[in-house]
Structure formats: structure tokens, C-alpha cells
Structure 1
Amino acid sequence: MTTNRKSPTVGRRRLGTELRKRRETAGLSLEIVAERLECSQSKVSRIETGSTAVNPRDVRDLLSIYDTPAPVVEELIALCRESREKGWWHQYSSVLTSAYVDFESAASKIRMYEQLVVPGLLQTEEYMRALVQGGRPDFRDDEIAVKLRIRRERQSLLSQDDPIDLWVVLDEAVVSRPVGGDKVMREQLKRLAVAAKLPNVTIQLLPFETGAHAGMDGTFAILDFSEQGESSVIFAENATGGLFLERREELRTYNLIFNYIREKALSPEESAELIEELAEEPLWKSRLRATG
């Protein structure tokens, strides 16, 4: 199974950035462009931020206003058409709570800190099922099946011909809670141990004894893209989907936070060794013996 690495959302952002640069080079304000295009300023602004789809005719009209050379016009029209194509995940839009999967599909590198659960790209199916059932007991069986299908699709990003580079720092709480029970969690730990040996996957554990650390405000992911001029995106997760951040200062802050966390964490080698040990002698078993 191969996941299409193109992302409509990322394509719209790239197109918007190029259109904004063309407008600024032409020395035109949003007001003037909106007047010539006979539309609202907010429409032009939404196009430039990539927050709305744009049709090829509007792109051609905008580039005409900016006196753009014909070869560049055709290149950006092609990008416009590409950005209007639907990704594989579109059919699941009724159950997806954010555009994260869209960004993830186009990322070349993802760095993330996770406080409570194994990231979706590294979950076993039984762990996924237990997580969904435990977190949302109101979900029907068919809704759970769709969520599992989406995560299986996403996981192909790690094994396709051009896999993403994944670097994960897991709080020790992630490997301490037996989601799904003893057997399910042991299998999940074994999956982590196997994944840690992949050349494109780095896993580090942040032990409890670290105490206070830079990531205590919550789980986040930093998504980097290989396309020239495409800026990184921060995704801070919450129960209703999450928040996307992309201002320069926000990117700088989260890059610093991730670097602080990984420096406090066990090395990848130490982490892999500990995960293998925990698969054989889990922390929850030790706790049961201590309290028994």
C-alpha cells in the first residue's frame, strides 16, 4: 500500500505564498487587487493564506494583474489544479477532526512529543482499537472500523519507497499505561522496539525522574516539508482536533522545546533497550507486585 504524498492543503499554501509574493513584487495592495478582480479583500487574503480553494480562472486573472510571465503562469495553474485534487483521506472527512492527516501526508520529516499515547503511525491495531474504545465509548463499531482503516493507511508513510523521517519522544507514561490490557500493551511495546530499528525512525523515552521539563504544556508535532519555500507547521493536539501554528516565532519556540526535550530524554539506543525490557517485564506488572 502506498500513500499519495501530495497534499491539497500544502499545495494551496504554496500557491498562496507564490501569489502573495507576485502581488508584493508588483507593488499592489490587497484593496487594489480585490477591486481589479471584482471580489472582496478577504477572498484575496484567504487565497494567499491557502485557507480556501481557488479555481484556475482566478489564479490566471491574478497573475495577469501581476504581469506574470507565461511559463510561470502555466506552472502556477498546474499547482492550482493539483491543489484542488482530493487526497485519499477525503472519503473519511466525516470522522476526521482536523487537517492533520492532510499535512502529514506531504511531510518529509515529523518530530513529535507525546505525553500519553503511542503515536498513530506506530500503533498496533489492537492498541488502536482499545484506545478508541476507551476514549470514545459512544463510537459505533462502524465508526471505529473507519478510524482503524485511516490509521492503517497513514502507517504506510513509514514503509513506502520514499518514507517520512519520524523522530518521537515519548513520556514514560506512554509505556507505563497498559492500554487494552497486558497482552495488547506488550505487543505494542514490541512494535515500538521493531520500529526503533528502522533507519527512518528515532524513538526516545523521557523518564519520570527527569521531573519538570519543557514539554509539560502538552503533546505536539513539528511537520517539515521538502518543497522549497514551504515552511514547517506545528500541530498542538486537543480533544476536538488540534491547533495549527506556523508563525516564525511559534516555530522557533517549538523547535527549542523539542530540542530541550530530546536532550533530557534517554538516547535512542538506551530507549530501544528499555522498551525491549519493558515488553518482557512491564512497569504495570512491577507495580501490581509491589502493591500486592
Structure 2
Amino acid sequence: MERSQTSQGNRMSTVLGRRLGGELTKHRLAAGLTQGQAAKVISASTGKIARMESGWVPMRDPDIRILCELYEVSDPAAVGGLLELARVDRERRKAKGWWNDVSVAPAMKEYITLESAATAIKTWQTAFVPGLLQTESYVRALNPDDAFVAARLARQRRLVEDPPLRLRTVVYEAVLRNLVGGAKTMRGQLEHLADTASRPNVSVRVLPFHAGAQLGMGCGFNIISFADPGAMDVVYMEIPRSQTWIEGGLEAAAHDDMFERIAEQALNEHESRAFISNLSKEL
């Protein structure tokens, strides 16, 4: 399911809300039930069920448990995953994070909100170094606006918080050879990339030119996880003048498979650090 950020008045259809609503909708349809039947068991209106399934309103744990019982979803892991997703969504809706005090585009603000709640991110990049791994000079070469730079650098705290975000990165060789900001800036960026890759929660791998053409080379993407791998993944992609979310389902699974296939063709972590270090010495 592909969506962009949606708002209506003071309400917000959030990515996590839609992800949760989509799962409940899938279970309801599998049980052969209508929204009206679902509404009756939680003493709500059909309209509320529609808003819940569309991600417009936060969901209460008792409602989720009752609906799971109605839909005959009895697997504790499945129910627990839905409850955890609902908890994270409620917290994100009322969060007063630093991102609310800086000037960033609404779509990016939603991404930062999700990033702050994520447990793990996989990112495949074909044009630029991932934002979580960029140096200040590199960021300024992309966008000199002070608010943009401050927001980009503040996001990087996730890598050193307790618990730290787990980050798996695969970058195309062209990313490393693109002299963003000139040779000095890029040398510092490559050195920083190799240094950060030594952290236990960060993996950086390089897909070299000699690996040949791969699926996914037309557009980079981030896979954001909030629980066990694949349990509640959403995919974020930036395309010219727009952003796209893929909220679970077969498309999200396909992107995860694509990431793993690309990673299989990349240099291993040790080889990648050596490759990056050698490139930095050439500048």
C-alpha cells in the first residue's frame, strides 16, 4: 500500500496508524466480517471502524484485543505485534520531540518521528551517503540552510542512544565517488563513514561497479522496523519532488527481499571499510 502523509483538520492519518489499520482490515476481511459487525463488538460506530482502519485515530489496546478475538487471531506474537504497533503510534502522535521545534518539511517530520521510534533501519542508497552517516560539511554541501543541517545532525543521535538504532547500509560505489562539496569534504565524509562502520550497531557495505546491474538501482529506499524483522516494516522512498511510503504487505516484503539480494552482491563489511579507506586516501 503506497501512501503519502495525509492530514485533515487537527487529525492526522499516520504511517503507523495506517499500517496497523491495514493489518486489522486484512484480518477482518479474512474472517468474512463487515465494518458494522466489527463496530458492534467494541460498541462503536461503523464510521469509527473506518477511521481506525484508515489510520485516522489512535487505537486502544482493549479494542484491539476484542477485534482480534472476533477475527480469530489467536497467535500471541501476532496480537502482541499489533498491540506494540498501536503503542508506538499513540506515543508518536503525542510526542514532543526536538523535530517539532525545527523547520522541516511535513513529510520529513513524519519520517523523523518514525525514525525516532524505530528499532532498526535498512537503507540502500544510489546517490548520496545516508543521512544518519553524513558529516556536517557534507550536509551543508547538499543544503546550506542551518535548520536543515541541525535537523540532519540531530537525527544521528539515534545511533548512540540507549538502546541504539540498528542500521544496515548498502551504498553504491557511485555514492563514494561523487565529490559532494569537493575533495576535502568528501575525504572527511569517507573517513567518517569508515569510522562509524566500526560501531557494533552499524553495518556499511559497498556495492562495487563490477557487481553489474541490480534490481533497485533506479531508486534508493529505507526499510523501517519497529519490532521483529518484517513484523511491522514500512518502506520510505524519496523520488523527485515527492516522497512515497509503502506500508507493509507484499510490496514492503518485496523491497526487503530486494535489499537482501543487493547486500548479497556487495562487499562484506571488512572489505567495504578497506574500500572506503582506500578511496579517502586517493583524495
TM over 0.5: yes
Correspondence 1:22-171 to 2 at 5 A: 29-32=34-37, 37-38=44-45, 40=47, 43-50=48-55, 52-54=56-58, 79=87, 82-88=91-97, 89-92=99-102, 94-98=104-108, 99-133=110-144, 144-171=145-172
State the Cα distance separating 1:13 from its structure 2 match. 5.3
| 1: CA distance, partners of 2:137 / 2:147 | 14
2:215 alignment partner, SS class: coil
State how far apart, in whole Å, the 2-side matches of 1:191 and 1:211 are.
27
With normalisation by structure 1, the TM-score equals 0.72
- Report how far residue 154 of structure 1 moved: 0.8
**Cα distance change on mapping 1:209 and 1:147 into 2, 3 Å:** same
Distance 1:242 1:161, change over 3 A: same
Give the Cα separation in 1 of the matches to 2:46 and 2:122.
40
What is the CA deviation profile of residues 61-116 of structure 1, one whole-angstrom value per residue up to 9, with x for unaligned ones?
A: x6799699xxxxxx99x948535313412334653434221221111111111001
Shift of the 213–280 alpha-carbon distance from structure 1 to 2, 3 Å rule, reads: same
Cα contact 1:10–1:106 (8 A) shared by 2: no
- Contact 1:11/1:82 (CA < 8 Å) preserved in 2? no
- Superposed, which structure 2 residues align to 1:173-252 within 5 Å? 173-226=174-227, 230-252=231-253
Q: Given the superposition, is the C-alpha separation of residues 268 and 44 from structure 1 closer, same or farther in structure 2, using an over 3 Å criterion?
A: same
Shift in Å at residue 219 of structure 1? Answer: 0.4
Distance 1:189 1:81, change over 3 A: closer
**Distance change in 2, residues 1:227/1:201 (3 Å):** closer
SS of the aligned residue for 2:169 comes to: strand
On the 8 A contact 1:9/1:83 being kept in 2, the answer is: no
* Contact persistence 2:124–2:171 (CA under 8 A): yes
- Are residues 84 and 176 of structure 1, via their aligned partners in 2, closer, same or farther at CA, if it must alter by over 3 Å? closer
d(CA) in 2 for partners of 1:198 and 1:63?
Answer: 38
Q: Is the 8 A contact 1:172 1:205 kept in 2?
A: yes
Asked if the contact 2:168/2:204 (under 8 Å) is kept, the reply is yes
Whether the 8 Å contact between 1:12 and 1:83 is mirrored in structure 2 is no
CA deviation after TM superposition for structure 1 residue 147, in Å = 1.1
Deviations 1:111-134 (CA, angstroms, capped at 9, x unpaired) = 11100101100000110010124x
* Bigger CA radius of gyration: 1
TM-score calculated relative to the size of structure 2: 0.75
Tell whether the 8 Å contact from 2:233 to 2:248 is kept in structure 1 after alignment.
Answer: no
| 1:137 aligned partner | none
Query: 2:95 & 2:53 partners in 1: Cα distance?
Result: 20
Unpaired runs of 5+ residues, structure 2, are 1-12, 70-82
Query: 1:178/1:83 Cα in 2 relative to 1: closer, same or farther (>3 Å)?
Result: closer
Q: Check whether the contact 2:104–2:148 (CA below 8 A) recurs between aligned residues.
A: no
Deviations 1:167-221 (A, max 9, x none): 1111111111111111111100110010111111111111112221122231011
Ranges in structure 1 where 5+ consecutive residues have no aligned partner: 1-7, 69-74, 134-143, 283-292
Determine if contact 1:221/1:236 at 8 Å carries over to the other structure.
Answer: yes
* CA distance in structure 1 between the partners assigned to 2:107 and 2:255 by the alignment: 23
One-letter identity of the residue aligned with 2:105: V
Q: CA deviation at 1:222?
A: 1.2
CA contact (8 A) 2:19 2:247 kept: no
- Give the residue type in structure 2 aligned to 1:279: S
Closer, same or farther: CA 121–38 of 1 in aligned 2, 3 Å: same
